[in-house]
């Protein structure tokens, strides 16, 4: 496919990383990402948020740099795009740069790659290539600005831009802080003190040393993004041969109309009109199109023109270009451009067209921000249908019948309000204009709950001191209606009136009756309340008290907006402030304890790290996709594929009837689960069959279009709630050795109590893993009835056993190989087994390779996630807050399959016991329901347990009207109570570091001082309230048996195998360090850089057996211990030879020693199986966090201002790795407690299907200041070099954010009561998980604006 000769006329030609590609023919629906991953060696761009051909772009994993050459201006335009949305035919004549094009192992890495590694900003690494390109694009475009030349080694990029460079990129591992540091390290205006922990310099180094230590960036040596040979092609016509590609690029409206008429005449072709193709990210295409019409070559549709009346923007102009143009205009245009920057993400806006956005709003009822903005400012739309051209208002455009295929949106005209005001009004008439948006993410990349744009002309009333509204335009959209609307009744009501409290009150009430979401819209009351909030905020400064002085007007526009709304268009604030990372480095066991960069991080950044889906497809490889159930309990009578699916490459449909062995897809110690439903499907999301086709796209589309014939006649109703499971005694048995023990005498404790809370209730929902790499496997048949399976799994050994039973062959015929996993969090433990097994089954039956890369929708609907539960608690406590007894009745929703659910009660109880409850009694039922089976997710049961314990503490404090922190402190364990609750795991007194952590954190975070400052802030601010909370954790972990193998090769290099899997948690890094430390005991010369001699190799179930399960936070240390045993054996074997050589030679080089050992036939390979000692198998982890938040009472938005963490890592094996685990876990916990809604419908089918509807944390939702201290306590001599786990415990600390939010809400409710004339306290309330904006706003008062205005009136 790659060509060097000149291009044939009409051929598709482009460059990738400087190499020329000429494609003779290809289907027009092929995306750039499909081509890169299947036809080039460049696999750095990843598919994460969608499925092949049906994308949900917005995660950033597929981002590439697209460069276009303008021969007239002799300029190159560089912009990021989502390669999963960009159609290949649309890049004709363009150049693509992926992360491999920046640098690589052979030619040298780019400073971006090196800094991602050195700042410890890549964990699983799946998102890192996209991050690198987003940053690279920001650097390239900053250099084109006329800014002053930056200091050597830096760019023209500014810190605020650097942070926002990756605002649209998702990461599930790191917590974003180190990624932001990488970006900021290139900014010319960066303060080096603001950059966090890294491997380039040490604490205390001077600024000069730090700058010199950074991998040098020289923009003048930057790679050429558009090769010279392609410029020659660009100077000639680059229109594709439409017959070969079914891709049409009309150059005039007349030609476009002829094409559309041809389609309308009905020749059976399915035609798609495209510009950026970004509509695919929202609207799923179930069938492919035959022909594509690209509108970008039509001049009338692509121009931007400004005249005296306004700005005309062509329909194919990208949103990014429209933002640039509007930014050069008046303040109305500037505010529109600011708002539009929150639409999608930069790499989507660079492709998405203004017209496409508006047509989707008009035709498909897309919740568009742009339509609302343009409606408010009186924009006009130019439409053409046949020979008829008409200009209509935006309101008419949105209300008209859906555009037909012959109608063309030509352009939009946005009035110049600066000129309108100067002509139509005297100097006394002033204008207010503001835009609003309430969405889960401040920087966008999330659909709004409601958007608004409000405009009003006001003037001073001649007869009073008030302001008269002479005209206004109010637009509201995205609140669950077909399209944006004008609130004309409110406009008419306000026009001519003097603004006052009672007028605004009536306007707000009227607006509420107008902004009414359609049925089935989520949070309808919240959305209506947002409209009221925004109207109030718009006018509040003119009605609170007396109208403010007109001195606040500049150029006819109000600058009297509240500080929260006022925008300084000259300066953009930074997202994050400087955070602190504190630790004491331990050099006793060098290189163990050193913060070396994570193994493989730099090749993850450069795109060279190989994940399962990066393995080239073998010859004749087929692809699989699951058909899953949408019914909770039904007979499966049959499956029908649409005829077109069979034509589109479908080879087979495999079901339980095709299994040669047992129908098993998951096997745990608690029992098996079926691979496929048999004659009955027993839950939504259960796999029914596997479609096998020639491409992943065809397999996915066929599975999507499959029709399952269900029969539910004469079946018992499914069990869809834990209450129903309880009534029917539908439970999974918990083995006695996994049953947690009760503590103390509950009845006695309750008898001692002064106060009691009886039968309070808590409900907790689920959470989805959202690993960046979805479930994936590749199965290849081998000789002699064997099969090799490459799987992204945390438990290869379990997959081997499951596949063996399913195929009916011995385990030695099954080899499962896992190199690295692109994020797991427990979801790649049991839930990866059916994927590997299904691929193996299909490959075994069809005798050809079969692979699967599960699409995000299927992954979300089938993999189960965290365990939901319902909790009832009763608690007794003293007047001083000391709790004497706690009783919990918990119903856990385990779903249909047992999975690992029987261990959840033990984990939950372990987390709940972090406080001294006096006596602790519980009854925990693991309920079997007709939901998809739940599985382990990072901190399984423990996250829920820590929330339950904090909810109880908060409730007790509210009943007593006590400070919550004092109740927490009162109930912290003494060592004696700790030993009583955690029998056998508490260790020695000196190991109990929580009391010192608790006090140290109060001092280092200035907890008491900030608490006082927050009280003052809350007294002075009506519409923003702050809260702060300090929480502890006690987290019990268990060590597990783990194998290891160390082999010294002939040249002295070392190959290491361990049972643990590299998930991004740095396991390989710690194992390398331990190997180097342990082998250095031989004390040979020349071992200074011994780490470079060591390689950890992929897991192979036939090479290293009994690998077990990588989970529970302790696999890294167990693997290290296994390796240490191996190394000790090798050192023992080598020592006599070394001593002999030393007598002969004096000093002995490592290489010399190994050569002599080889000559003497010494076994240079050692295996071990580490089995932990029963006395140290379990231990406790301690930590504490303080979080401070600010809640916007008008929207419910919660901003995390600061989080401070102290976590005891024992003696950290690698502080850099552990720091990453602490921060990443904490941010994932923020997702659970604050953002992520993993909801189901009435049948139990998961509702979210991707990033549009499921929101994990982003760089703009993490703590603005994030301080972490790793405490190296070192009191743990019985364990591996005194180390402790770090993977899961810190996630529990994120409950501090939820508790701080609760504290802020408490203040809001107190204020609301005072406005309503009530003096009583209302501190007892339940804050749901997650505490999303609608949840927070509801507790703060959905009618808080009306209550406030009424209080002023009264």
Question: In the prediction, which pLDDT does 281 show?
Answer: 63
Looking up tokens 């019985």, which residue turns up? Answer: 1278
Is residue 239 predicted with pLDDT exceeding 90?
no
Tell me what the mean pLDDT of segment 998-1014 comes to: 98
Q: How confident is the model at residue 8 (pLDDT cuts 50, 70, 90)?
A: very low
Model pLDDT, residue 260: 84
What backbone torsions phi and psi does residue 512 show, to the nearest 5 degrees? -60, -35
pLDDT at residue 759, as a whole number: 97
Q: What percent of the chain has pLDDT above 70? A: 95
Mean pLDDT in residue range 34-41: 97
Mean pLDDT for the stretch of residues 337-362: 95
| Alpha-helix residue ranges (DSSP H) falling in 578-692 | 601-605, 643-647
pLDDT at 429: 84
Q: What is the pLDDT of residue 10?
A: 80
Question: Would you state the pLDDT for residue 570?
Answer: 38
Contacts of 553 (CB under 8 A, 6+ apart): 430, 559, 560
Categorize the per-residue pLDDT at 1086 as very low, low, confident or very high, splitting at 50, 70 and 90.
confident
pLDDT computed for residue 969 by the predictor: 98
Q: What is the pLDDT of residue 286?
A: 61
Tell me what pLDDT residue 425 has.
Answer: 57
In the chain, % of residues over pLDDT 90: 85
* Residue 1347: per-residue pLDDT: 96
**51: pLDDT strictly greater than 80:** no
The predicted model scores a pTM of: 0.96
CA distances from 1027 to 390, 1007, 1297 (A): 55, 11, 9
The pLDDT tens digits for 793-802 are: 999 999 999 9
pLDDT band at 1008 (very low <50, low <70, confident <90, very high): very high
What letter does residue 406 receive in the DSSP assignment? T
Region 447-474: mean pLDDT is 92
pLDDT tens per residue across span 921-972? 999 999 999 999 999 999 999 999 999 999 999 999 999 999 999 999 999 9
552 pLDDT more than 80: no
pLDDT single digits (tens) 517-527: 999 999 999 99
What does the pLDDT average to over 593-612? Answer: 97
What is the per-residue pLDDT for 267? 62
Output the average pLDDT for the chain.
93
Confidence of residue 385 (pLDDT cuts 50, 70, 90): confident
- Find the mean pLDDT for residues 1296-1304: 98
- Say whether pLDDT at 340 is over 60: yes
Banded model confidence at residue 405, pLDDT cuts 50, 70, 90: confident
Residue 395, Cα to own-chain centre: how many angstroms? 36
Confidence check: pLDDT of 4 > 70 = no
Q: How many CB atoms lie within 10 A of CB 403?
A: 16
| Distances in whole angstroms, Cα of residue 702 to Cα of each of 67, 625, 680, 683 | 35, 8, 22, 22
Between the CA of residue 433 and those of 239, 320, 485, 816, 1136, what are the distances in Å? 44, 22, 17, 62, 85
Overall average pLDDT of the 1293-1305 stretch = 98
Place of tokens 């005829």: 643
pLDDT at 559 over 70: no
pLDDT given at position 9: 62
Q: Which residues sit opposite 554 in a β-bridge?
A: 557
Which secondary-structure segment (H or E) carries 1142?
helix 1115-1145
Checking if the pLDDT of 1294 tops 60, the result is yes
- Give the pLDDT of residue 1337: 98
pLDDT (mean) for 229-258: 84
Find the mean pLDDT for residues 1167-1179: 92
pLDDT value at position 645? Answer: 62
Q: Is the pLDDT score of 893 beyond 60?
A: yes
Kindly state the average pLDDT of the residues 646-652.
85
Q: Is the pLDDT of residue 557 over 70?
A: no
The pLDDT assigned to 1074 comes to 98
Contacting residues for 669 by C-beta, under 8 A, at least 6 apart = none
Q: What is the CA radius of gyration of the chain?
A: 32
* Strand ranges inside 540-659, DSSP E: 553-554, 557-558, 581-583, 622-628, 634-640, 650-654
Does residue 513 have a pLDDT over 60?
yes
Reported as a single tens digit per residue, the pLDDT across 659-669 is 999 999 999 99
727-766 pLDDT per residue, tens = 999 999 999 999 999 999 999 999 999 999 999 999 999 9
Model pLDDT, residue 540? 93
């Amino acid at each position: 496919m790659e060509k060097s000769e000149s291009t044939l006329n009409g051929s598709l030609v482009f460059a990738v990383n400087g190499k020329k590609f000429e494609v003779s023919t290809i289907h027009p629906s092929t995306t750039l990402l499909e081509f890169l991953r299947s036809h080039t060696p460049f696999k750095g761009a990843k598919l994460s948020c969608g499925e092949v051909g049906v994308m949900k772009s917005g995660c950033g994993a597929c981002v590439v740099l697209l460069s276009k050459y303008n021969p007239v201006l002799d300029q190159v335009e560089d912009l990021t795009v989502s390669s999963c949305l960009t159609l290949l035919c649309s890049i004709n004549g363009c150049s693509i740069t992926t992360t491999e094009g920046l640098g690589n192992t052979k030619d040298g890495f780019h400073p971006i790659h090196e800094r991602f590694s050195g700042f410890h900003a890549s964990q699983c690494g799946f998102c890192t290539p996209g991050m690198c390109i987003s940053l690279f694009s920001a650097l390239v475009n900053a250099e084109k600005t006329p800014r002053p030349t930056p200091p050597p080694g830096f760019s023209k990029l500014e810190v605020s831009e650097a942070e926002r460079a990756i605002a649209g990129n998702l990461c599930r591992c790191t917590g974003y802080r180190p990624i932001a540091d990488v970006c900021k390290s290139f900014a010319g205006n960066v303060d080096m003190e603001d950059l966090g922990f890294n491997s380039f310099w040490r604490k205390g180094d001077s600024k000069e040393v730090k700058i010199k230590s950074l991998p040098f960036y020289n923009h003048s040596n930057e790679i050429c993004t558009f090769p010279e040979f392609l410029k020659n092609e660009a100077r000639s016509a680059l229109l594709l041969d439409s017959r070969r590609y079914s891709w049409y690029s009309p150059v005039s409206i007349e030609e476009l109309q002829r094409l559309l008429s041809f389609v309308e005449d009905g020749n059976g072709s399915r035609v798609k009109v495209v510009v950026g193709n970004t509509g695919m990210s929202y609207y799923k295409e179930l069938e492919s199109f035959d022909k594509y019409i690209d509108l970008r070559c039509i001049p009338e549709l692509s121009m931007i023109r400004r005249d005296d009346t306004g700005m005309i923007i062509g329909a194919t102009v990208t949103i990014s270009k429209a933002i640039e143009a509007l930014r050069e205009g008046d303040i109305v245009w500037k505010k529109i451009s600011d708002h539009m920057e929150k639409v999608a993400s930069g790499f989507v806006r660079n492709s998405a067209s203004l017209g496409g956005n508006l047509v989707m709003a008009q035709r498909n009822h897309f919740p568009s921000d742009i339509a609302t903005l343009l409606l408010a400012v009186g924009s006009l739309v130019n439409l053409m249908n046949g020979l008829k051209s008409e200009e209509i208002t935006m309101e008419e455009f949105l209300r008209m019948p859906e555009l037909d295929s012959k109608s063309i949106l030509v352009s939009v005209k946005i009035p110049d309000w600066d000129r309108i005001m100067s002509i139509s009004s005297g100097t006394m008439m002033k204008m207010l204009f503001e835009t609003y948006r309430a969405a889960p993410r401040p920087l966008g990349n999330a659909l709004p709950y409601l958007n608004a744009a409000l405009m009003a002309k006001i003037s001073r009333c001649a007869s009073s001191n008030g302001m008269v509204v002479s005209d206004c335009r109010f637009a509201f959209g995205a609140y669950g209606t077909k399209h944006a609307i004008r609130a004309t009744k409110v406009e008419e009501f306000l026009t001519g009136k003097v603004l006052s409290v009672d007028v605004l009150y009536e306007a707000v009430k009227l607006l509420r009756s107008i902004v009414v979401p359609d049925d089935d819209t989520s949070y309808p009351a919240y959305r209506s309340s947002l409209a009221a909030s925004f109207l109030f905020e718009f006018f509040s400064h003119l009605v609170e008290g007396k109208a403010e002085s007109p001195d606040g007007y500049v150029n006819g526009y109000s600058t009297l907006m509240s500080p929260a709304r006022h925008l300084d268009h000259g300066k953009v604030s930074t997202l994050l402030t400087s955070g602190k990372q504190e630790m004491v480095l331990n050099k006793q066991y060098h290189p163990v304890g050193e913060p070396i960069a994570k193994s493989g991080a730099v090749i993850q950044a450069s795109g060279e790290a190989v994940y399962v889906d990066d393995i080239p497809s073998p010859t004749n490889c087929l692809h699989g996709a699951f058909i899953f159930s949408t019914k909770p309990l039904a007979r499966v009578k049959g499956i029908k594929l649409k005829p077109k699916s069979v034509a589109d490459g479908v080879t087979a449909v495999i079901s339980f009837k095709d299994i040669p062995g047992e129908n098993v897809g998951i096997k745990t110690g608690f029992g098996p689960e079926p691979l496929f439903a048999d004659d009955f499907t027993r839950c939504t999301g259960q796999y029914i069959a596997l479609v096998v086709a020639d491409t992943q796209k065809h397999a996915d589309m066929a599975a999507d279009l499959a029709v399952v014939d269900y029969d539910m006649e004469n079946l018992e109703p499914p069990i869809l709630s834990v209450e129903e499971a309880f009534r029917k005694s539908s439970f999974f048995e918990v083995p006695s050795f996994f049953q947690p023990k009760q503590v103390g005498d509950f009845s006695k404790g309750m008898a001692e109590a002064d106060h009691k809370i009886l039968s309070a209730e808590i409900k907790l929902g689920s959470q989805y893993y959202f690993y960046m790499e979805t479930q994936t496997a590749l199965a290849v048949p081998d000789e002699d009835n064997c099969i090799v399976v490459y799987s992204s799994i945390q438990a290869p050994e379990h997959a081997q056993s499951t596949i063996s039973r399913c195929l009916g062959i011995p385990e030695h015929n099954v080899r499962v190989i896992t190199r690295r996993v692109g994020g797991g969090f427990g979801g790649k433990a049991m839930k990866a087994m059916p994927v590997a097994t299904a691929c193996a089954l299909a490959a075994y039956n069809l005798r050809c390779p079969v692979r699967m890369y599960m699409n995000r929708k299927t992954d979300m609907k089938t993999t189960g996630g965290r365990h939901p539960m319902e909790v009832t608690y009763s608690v007794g406590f003293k007047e001083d807050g000391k709790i004497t007894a706690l009783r919990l009745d918990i119903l856990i929703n385990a779903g249909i399959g047992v999975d690992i659910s029987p261990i959840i009660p033990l984990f939950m109880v372990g987390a709940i016991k972090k406080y001294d409850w006096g006596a602790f009694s519980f009854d925990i039922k693991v309920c079997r329901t007709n939901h998809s089976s739940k599985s382990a997710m990072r901190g399984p049961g423990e996250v829920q347990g820590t929330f339950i314990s904090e909810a109880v503490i908060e409730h007790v404090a509210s009943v007593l009207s006590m400070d919550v922190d004092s109740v927490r402190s009162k109930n912290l364990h003494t060592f004696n109570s700790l030993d009583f609750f955690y029998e056998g795991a508490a260790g020695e007194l000196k190991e109990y570091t929580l009391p010192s952590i608790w006090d140290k954190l109060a001092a280092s975070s200035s907890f008491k001082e900030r608490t006082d400052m927050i009280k003052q802030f809350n007294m002075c601010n009506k519409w923003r309230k702050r809260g702060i909370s300090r929480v502890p954790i006690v987290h019990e972990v268990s060590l597990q048996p783990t194998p290891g193998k160390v082999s010294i090769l002939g040249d002295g290099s070392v190959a290491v195998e361990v049972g643990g899997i590299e998930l991004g948690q740095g396991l390989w890094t710690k194992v390398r360090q331990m190997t180097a430390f342990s082998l250095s005991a031989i004390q040979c010369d020349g071992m200074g850089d011994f780490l470079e001699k060591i390689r950890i190799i992929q897991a192979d179930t036939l090479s290293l057996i009994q690998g077990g399960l990588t989970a529970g936070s302790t696999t890294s240390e167990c693997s290290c211990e296994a390796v240490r045993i191996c190394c000790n054996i090798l050192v023992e074997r080598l020592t006599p030879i070394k001593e002999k050589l030393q007598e002969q030679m004096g000093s002995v080089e490592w290489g010399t020693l190994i050569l002599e050992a080889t000559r003497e036939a010494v076994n240079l390979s050692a295996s071990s199986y580490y089995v932990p000692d029963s006395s140290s198998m379990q231990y406790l982890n301690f930590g504490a966090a303080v979080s401070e938040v600010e809640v916007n009472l008008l929207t419910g938005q919660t901003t995390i201002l600061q989080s401070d963490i102290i976590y005891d890592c024992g003696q950290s094996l690698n502080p850099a790795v552990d720091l990453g685990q602490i921060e990443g876990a904490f941010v994932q916990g923020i997702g659970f407690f604050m953002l992520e809604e993993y909801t189901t419908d009435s049948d139990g089918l998961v509702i979210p299907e991707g990033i549009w509807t499921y929101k994990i944390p982003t760089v703009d939702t993490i703590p603005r200041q994030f301080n972490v201290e790793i405490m190296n306590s070192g009191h743990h001599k019985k364990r591996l070099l005194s180390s402790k786990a770090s993977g899961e415990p810190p996630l529990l600390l994120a409950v501090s954010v939820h508790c701080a939010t609760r504290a802020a809400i408490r203040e809001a409710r107190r204020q609301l009561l005072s406005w309503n004339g009530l003096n009583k306290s209302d501190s007892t309330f339940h804050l749901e998980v997650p505490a999303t904006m609608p949840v927070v706003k509801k507790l703060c008062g959905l009618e808080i604006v009306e209550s406030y205005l009424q209080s002023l009136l009264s």
